[in-house]
Structure 1
Amino acid sequence: MASGGPPFALGVETHTGLAALVRAIRAEEDGKALRKELAANMRDALRPGAEQAKGSIMGMVSVHGATPALRTSIAKKIRPEVKLGGRWSGARVKAFKTKNIRGFPNAPKRTNRASGWRHPVYGNREVWVSQRGKLEWFDRAFRGREGIYKEAVEAAMEDMARRIANRAG
C-alpha cells in the first residue's frame, strides 16, 4: 500500500477486511457514530432476507385455537444481526429462541429441521407425538439468494471504507 493511503485495504469482503474496517472506524474522531451507521447499513442490507424468512414461516400450516400463535411468535424473533468486534464479527439473519412461547424455546430450530419435534399431547406426559413443521422454511427462504445478501452487506462495508479513505486522503 502506498504511503499516505488509507490504513486498510478497500477489499473488505473477508473477515480480516471487516476487522480492519472496524479498527479504522475506531481510529476516527466520530468512530462511535460511524460504527453505528455501518451496523445499521449492514442490517438494512439483510432486512429483505429476514422478511422472506418471516413470510416462509407464516406459510406453515397451523392448527387454529392454539395461543399464543407459534408461527407469529417465531416470525417476531427473526432479525438481522450485526456484530462488529469480539469473538465473532459479521452479519447474519438469525431466528432467536422463543423463550416463553408454550414451553417451546427452540421452536425456530425444531420447526426447520426435517425430523421435526416431539411433544406431549395437551400436556399429558404419558402420551407423546412427533410433529413436523414446514420443512426447512428458514433455509429455503435464502436458497439461491445468498449471493445477493452477501453483496449487499459487502457494498455497505465498501461504502464505509471509501468514506473513511476519502477523509484520510
Structure 2
Amino acid sequence: MQNVRLLNTGSLLELSRRLRAAGGENIRQSMHRRIRRAAEPLKSDLQGSIRGLDIRGEGRRPGKRGGPSPTTRPLRASIADAIRISVRTGASPGATVWIDRGRLPADIPMGLVNRIHDGRVRHPVFGNRRRWTQQNASPLWWDRVVRAHQPRINREIERIVDDVRRRLE
C-alpha cells in the first residue's frame, strides 16, 4: 500500500515559485483550497471502502467457544478515521493522501493495516497468542480506489494549474 501523491511536480513547482515571486497569498490560498477539494472525494471513497471491506474468517468450529473482542474500537472504522490529506504549496507542492499512524489506536499497528491491504490477516484468537486464526479480505482495496480516482484528479489538478497561471499573467 502506497501513499497517494496528487501532483504534476514540474507544473506545480513552477507555479509555486511564481506565486512566491508575485506575492499572491490570496491566489496561493485559493490553489491550496482547490487542491484539497480535488482530493476530498478520494479520501471519502477510501474511508467508505475500508468501512465496507468484507473481512471473512473461517468461522467457529463446532464445540469451540467464542467471546468478546479484546479491542474496544471497530477495526475498519479506526483505520478509516486515520486517513488524512495533506496539501502543500511551498517548496514541494502537491497533495498526499495517507493513513496517519498517529491517529491509529495503539492496539492497531500499521503492519496490520498493510496485511489487510494484502488480503490476509493472521492474528491471535481473542488475544490468546497460543491460538491463531486467519481472516481474508478483498486485497488491494486502497489501490483500486486510487486507480478509479486518478483520471479525475489529474484533470482537476491540470484545471487548477491553468487557472492559477492565467491569474498570474
**In which range does the TM-score fall when normalised by the shorter chain?**
0.7 to 0.9
What pairs with 1:14-93 in structure 2 (closer than 5 Å)?
14-31=8-25, 33-61=26-54, 66-86=71-91, 88-93=92-97
**CA deviation profile, 1:133-155 (whole Å, cap 9, x unmatched):** 33222122233431111111221
Asked if 1:118 corresponds to 2:122, the answer is: yes
Q: Corresponding residue for 2:63?
A: none
TM-score by length of 1: 0.73
For residues 50 and 15 of structure 1, what CA distance do their matches in structure 2 show? 21
**Which structure: greater strand fraction?**
2
Aligned residues: 150
Q: 1:17 to 1:113 in 2, by over 3 A?
A: same
Question: What SS does structure 2 have at the residue aligned with 1:145?
Answer: helix
Equivalent-residue separation in structure 2 for 1:145 and 1:100 (angstroms): 25
Query: What SS is found at the alignment partner of 1:119?
Result: strand
Task: List aligned pairs for 1:97-116, cutoff 5 A.
Answer: 97=101, 99-101=103-105, 103-106=107-110, 107-114=112-119, 116=120
* Inter-CA distance 29–143: structure 2 relative to 1 (3 Å threshold): closer
**Aligned-pair Cα RMSD in Å:** 2.7
Secondary structure, counterpart of 1:127 in structure 2: strand
- State TM-score, norm by structure 2: 0.73
2:162 aligned residue (139, 154, 158): 158
Q: What SS does the aligned partner of 2:42 have? A: helix
C-alpha distance in structure 1 between counterparts of 2:40 and 2:158, whole Å:
14
After superposition, the Cα gap between the structure-2 partners of 1:101 and 1:133, relative to the gap in structure 1 and judged at 3 Å, is farther
Question: Comparing both chains, which one has the higher relative contact order based on Cα–Cα distances under 8 Å and sequence gaps of 6 or more?
Answer: 2
- Cα separation, 1, equivalents of 2:147 and 2:93: 23
Q: Is the CA contact (8 Å cut-off) linking 2:55 and 2:138 kept in structure 1?
A: no
Name the amino acid aligned to 2:44: E
Distance 1:146 1:21, change over 3 A: same
Tell me, in whole angstroms, the C-alpha distance in 1 between the residues paired with 2:133 and 2:52.
Answer: 22
Aligned CA distance change for structure 1 residues 136 and 162 (closer, same or farther; 3 Å): same
- Where does the alignment leave 5 or more consecutive residues of structure 1 unmatched? 1-12
After superposition, the Cα gap between the structure-2 partners of 1:43 and 1:100, relative to the gap in structure 1 and judged at 3 Å, is: closer
Q: CA contact under 8 A between 1:73 and 1:98: conserved in structure 2? A: no
> Does the residue aligned with 2:107 lie in a helix, a strand or coil?
coil
